[in-house]
Amino acid sequence: MVISQPFWPAYLTAERIAKAKNLKIAITAGIGSDHVDLQAAIDRGITVTEVTYSNSISVAEHVVMMILSLVRNYIPSYKIVVDGGWNIADAVSRSYDVEGMDVGTVAAGRIGLAVLRRLKPFDMRLHYTDRHRLPAEVEQELGLTFHPTAQDMVPHCDVVTINAPLHPETEGLFDDKLISTMKRGAYLVNTARAKIADRDAIVRALESGQLAGYAGDVWFPQPAPADHPWRTMPHHGMTPHISGSSLSAQTRYAAGTREILESWFAGRPIRDEYLIVDGGQLAGAGSHSYSAGNATTGWNG
Ligand code: NDP
């Protein structure tokens, strides 16, 4: 058995899984099991679980904080205070209101929809793309514009937030090509998984001004090396991987992990919401949110 957090993950690659002859279950204490080679787990009949729902709202709050921080230019303004300055013109030279901006989420699952709900009172125009459309009542209630693909959505947005799982369909989605179709000076917030964005394309876009800001809390690999370019690129608002690990969230995913362990040891079925892979196939929540294949290793270094 391996219990791992996404925040400091034990990468269960195909090679490690091949060596772990007795491994039967991998539990993610949190949400997001892309650090496990799901295809290898499927092939070897290993059960993969995560604590669905445990930190969705925690992440949604972090996303809203990051959007406001980037658009209002909070971090450089804070730094001016700490450095003893009062350069108001510098502080506001990149500061705007979010009101009236177009914001779009790539995926409107538990986190994406919670982000949209929280942004609604800021009078932003709300867009989303997802593999499945939300119920018409929800679209109407929030005034959502649906786009069939990320490619269709991003040219309309001043702010884009990524809330999809990392799997073969989303790996490398935000590359030079897609970023070049965004509005010049748009903001990108990615608290989903680092490899959904091309690391170096993000740096290039910030340096050229194609992106006005990038924030998020997910890196590859984790822990991020000291020389990771996202630590030093311009106009970023990165944090270490903390959005889903507030003390409030920890209480919930600790309880969920315990429940999974109790079910496993008692031979009781693990509830569907927690299952990602079981019995040699994607199962429960996993069959909805993920696709078969592997995203634990990759070109992004
Ligand atoms: P959900 O499963 O509720 O939502 C994910 C959504 O992504 C689903 O609606 C799914 O579509 C959609 N989706 C999947 N593939 C695509 C695609 N190719 N294009 C568009 N939409 C797609 O997950 P959560 O909202 O709870 O979490 C999302 C991700 O956020 C997690 O997988 C994890 O990686 C990350 N996360 C990060 C945390 C952090 O601390 N930074 C903490 C928690 C999660 P459908 O189901 O309709 O097919």
Domain chopping of the chain, boundaries: 2-54+245-289, 56-231
193 noted as active-site residue? yes
DSSP 146: E
Distance 21 CA to ligand 1 centre (A): 30
Q: Tell me, what's the pLDDT at 297? A: 63
Architecture field, domain 56-231: 3-Layer(aba) Sandwich (3.40)
User: Among 5, 51, 61, 111, which is best to mutate for testing ligand 1, by the most ligand atoms less than 8 A from CB?
Assistant: 111
pTM across the whole model: 0.94
Distance 160 CA to ligand 1 centre (A): 15
Give which of 94, 205, 96, 230 is closest to 154, Cα–Cα.
Answer: 205
Distance of CA 32 to the CA centre of its chain: 9
Give which of 59, 11, 27 is closest to 192, Cα–Cα.
Answer: 59
> Does ligand 1 come within 6 angstroms of the Cβ of 163?
yes
* Residue in this structure with the two tokens 């914001």, named with its chain if needed: 103
What CATH number labels 2-54+245-289? 3.40.50.720
Q: Tell me, what's the pLDDT at 229? A: 98
Cis peptide before 223 (omega within 30 of 0): yes
Q: Which of 222, 228, 236, 294 is catalytic?
A: 222
DSSP structure string for 76-135: HHHHHHHTT---HHHHHTT----TT-EEEEE--SHHHHHHHHHHGGGT-EEEEE-SSPPP
> Does ligand 1 come within 6 angstroms of the Cβ of 284?
no
Percent of the chain with pLDDT over 90: 94
Instruction: List per-residue pLDDT tens for the chain, 301 residues long.
Output: 999 999 999 999 999 999 999 999 999 999 999 999 999 999 999 999 999 999 999 999 999 999 999 999 999 999 999 999 999 999 999 999 999 999 999 999 999 999 999 999 999 999 999 999 999 999 999 999 999 999 999 999 999 999 999 999 999 999 999 999 999 999 999 999 999 999 999 999 999 999 999 999 999 999 999 999 999 999 999 999 999 999 999 999 999 999 999 999 999 999 999 999 999 999 999 998 888 887 776 433 3
* Residue whose CA is at the smallest distance from ligand 1 atom 2: 289
Atom of ligand 1 nearest to the CA of 173: 18
Q: Tell me, what's the pLDDT at 291? A: 82
**Cβ 1 vs Cβ 49: under 8 Å:** no
Taking the C-alpha atoms of residue 249 and residue 198, their distance in angstroms, rounded to an integer, is: 29
Distance 126 CA to ligand 1 centre (A): 18
* Residue whose CA is at the smallest distance from ligand 1 atom 15: 164
Q: Which of 55, 73, 210, 294 is catalytic?
A: 55
Atom of ligand 1 nearest to the CA of 111: 25
Q: Tell me, what's the pLDDT at 289? A: 81
Atom of ligand 1 nearest to the CA of 129: 20
Q: Tell me, what's the pLDDT at 52? A: 95
> Does ligand 1 come within 6 angstroms of the Cβ of 276?
no
Distance 272 CA to ligand 1 centre (A): 16
Atom of ligand 1 nearest to the CA of 53: 26
Q: Which of 35, 147, 167, 241 is catalytic?
A: 241
Using DSSP, state whether 137 is helix, strand or coil: helix
Q: Tell me, what's the pLDDT at 75? A: 98
Q: Tell me, what's the pLDDT at 301? A: 33
Fold match between domain 2-54+245-289 and domain 56-231: yes
Could you tell me which residues are beta bridge partners of residue 4?
Answer: 28
222 noted as active-site residue? yes
| Residues in Cβ contact with 266 at an 8 Å cutoff, skipping those fewer than 6 apart | none
Give me Rg for the CA atoms of the chain: 20
Angle between helices 56-71 and 110-119 (to 10 degrees): 50
